[in-house]
Amino acid sequence: MSRQHDIDHYGMDVKDLESSPFEMVETLRLRSKIHSYFRELTNEEKLEVNRYDLILLSNAQGFYDKLKFIHDFQNANKPEDEWWWHLHHVVKAFYKRSFSISFADPHGDLIVNMV
């Protein structure tokens, strides 16, 4: 599959809260795949991924509510920079209003800091 296909697929998936929890896990896996080559994307592709990330963030509660039954967020061994695997922290931070969104560097991926 092409990178643009991955990005397009990710974009469709983050908008679909009717997906099964298993499909949502695949969405998070796809996001990790995109993360692995994010620095190689064009600026336009990076902006597109960032827009989809913001949609995922706005749908974090819905994703979390479905995923918590099949994914053990508490024991996820994913790095913190892959914040999509830590939606339990994202949801908690949103309710507390203790989070920030930034970029690692001008060419880096979106970072969600949860305080």
**Per-residue pLDDT at 85:** 93
**In sequence order, which residues have a C-beta less than 8 Å from that of residue 34 and are 6 or more positions away?**
3, 6, 7, 10, 49
Rounded Cα distance, 79 and 84, in Å: 10
Tokens 């024991």, residue located: 75
**Per-residue pLDDT at 92:** 84
pTM value > 0.95: no
Structure tokens at 41: 């994307």
Q: Give the count of alpha carbons within 13 A of 77, CB side only.
A: 0
Structure tokens at 78: 């994913």
Structure tokens at 91: 């949801």
Q: Which residue has the higher pLDDT, 96 or 59?
A: 59
Phi-psi region of 52 (alpha: psi -120 to 50; beta: other; left: phi over 0): alpha
Structure tokens at 77: 């061994």
Residue 25 above 70 pLDDT?
yes
